[in-house]
Amino acid sequence: MGELEAKRERVTRHDLRHDRHTVSLLTDHLVFSPKYRGKVLLGDVAEAAEEIIRETCKELDIDIIDKPFFRKESFTKET
């Protein structure tokens, strides 16, 4: 079985996005990587960033499937 055939078997009808004239399967991955890898999204800034991302995704009809970005430990420094 070829690689393309293996990928086709894993895609279900539920995974496909149906619009008026198209059928698509969109998979993207967003990575926020600040300089020096420090945790810069803290407190109010973290809450504002999460709200903006969620609102934008909702407006664009984008589903957030896996969201480790929004976990509490992503925004706080270890002490």
Summarised one tens digit per residue, pLDDT across range 45-62 is 888 888 998 899 889 888
- Residue 79: per-residue pLDDT: 41
State the pTM of this model: 0.48
% of the chain residues with pLDDT over 90 = 4
Task: Determine contact, residues 68/61, Cβ cutoff 8 Å.
Answer: no
- Burial pattern 24-36, b for ≥16 Cβ within 10 A else e, equals eeeeeeeeeeeee
